[in-house]
Amino acid sequence: MLRRGASSSLRSLRLYEITGLHGKCIVPRGLAMWPNGYHRGMFSYRHAFHAGNHADVLKHTTLIATLRHLMQKEAGITLVDTHAGAGLYRLDGDYTETGGEAKDGVVKLMAALRAADRPAVKDVSPAIDDYLDIIAGFNPSGALRVYPGSPFVMQQLMRTESRDRLKLFELHPTDSKTLAANIAQLDAGRQIAVAREDGFEGLRPLLPPPPSATGSKRAVVLIDPSYEIKSDYAKVSACIQEAIKRFPTGTYLVWYPVIPRPEAHDLPRRLRTLANQAQKPWLNATLAIGQDPTHGPDDRPGLTASGMFVINPPHTLKAVLQVALPQLLTHLGRGRGKSQALESGG
């Protein structure tokens, strides 16, 4: 069920949010199997629980820095978000209250760098500043209530005059409905399309992208699955392998969790191999916020680290993240195991 929420970001934008039972998969009655063999049990993940956490901070800061650079060139870009989520999230809503993960992410960062009652922090990384500006744009009252997911982050940077296009895939029935409702109010017409389809499959026919008005073909693809299903790891590798073949000059950004699971461990290695084989430059940024010192031995630690692997990154991205990552660690790092790293190659 969709609930029309209070007027939110960007003045007239309304926020459509997911309502339902906490932590339960919400599916229409009697629907056991969804398209492409996905079973409803695979969809217990709801990004609303995690919106604005440290992983989103890393992901969206990297995404924004990438797009900012690429958009300096006039030619239009095809943007694809293969796993889009619901688009907008309430940070004061039921879902986020339960997990409260934004407290260790965007809320903490915003408080450290933008609190009115604290002295201004000097030399903040421009990429972090840019990220916080975008988040602040969705929260004009000053209180942090709304978090924009990747579809809205990308939409904020899109250019009408260059005819950038955005294609969003979201397979979850409730989240895709919510996303469609959130996007519909932008009146973006054909500039933004939402599909309730498998994003791994849906990407294929979009590559290579159509030529822009200047004749060049450009694409940026964000691949951000929830990795609830073990097969997602192999699907990401296969998807990247095919995408590079179909469109070797595209920029591909893959988010992945850093967790003690062999598939998760192998994914960045596999992506590095694929990029090296295709002789494409790559960059791998990781951020680990470490253990929560207030947690007891029986508390579940939750996700403490994640990475962004970028193939064909803008040549400026490495220098940008070299400044941003240590600052993210300073402000978000908690305890044992905290670290950041940046590798590149190609």
Contact 251, 314 (CB under 8 A): yes
User: Pick from 219, 316, 311: which is nearest to 270 by CA?
Assistant: 311
Is 224 catalytic? The answer is yes
Q: Is 145 in the site for ligand SAM (CB under 6 A)?
A: no
Cβ distance to ligand SAM smaller for residue 131 or 169: 169
Q: Which is nearer to ligand SAM, 42 or 113 (CB)?
A: 42
Instruction: Give yes or no for residue 175 binding ligand SAM (CB under 6 A).
Output: yes
Q: Is residue 226 close enough to count as binding ligand SAM by CB under 6 A? A: yes
**Least CB distance to ligand SAM at residue 169 (A):** 5
Exactly one of 81, 164, 198, 224 is catalytic; name it.
224
Exposed / middle / buried, residue 99 (Cβ in 10 Å: 0-12, 13-18, 19+): middle
Q: For residue 125, what are its two tokens? A: 């990384």
Task: Pick the binder of ligand SAM from 16, 200, 282, 309 (CB under 6 A).
Answer: 200
The footprint of ligand SAM on residues 56-95 (CB under 6 A) is 56, 59, 81, 83-85
Residue 185 beta carbon to ligand SAM: minimum distance, rounded to whole angstroms: 18
Other CB atoms within a 10 A radius of the CB of residue 206 amount to 20
Q: How far is the CB of 174 from ligand SAM (least distance, A)?
A: 9
Omega cis (within 30) before 208:
yes
CB contact at 8 A, 47 and 299: no
- Rounded to a whole number of angstroms, the distance between the first and last alpha carbons of the chain is 47
Cβ 282 vs Cβ 223: under 8 Å? no
Residue 264 is a binding residue for ligand SAM (CB under 6 A): no
Question: Which residues in this chain contact ligand SAM in the complex, by CB under 6 A?
Answer: 43, 45, 47, 56, 59, 81, 83-85, 149-150, 169-172, 175, 198-200, 224-226
**Positions marked catalytic:** 224
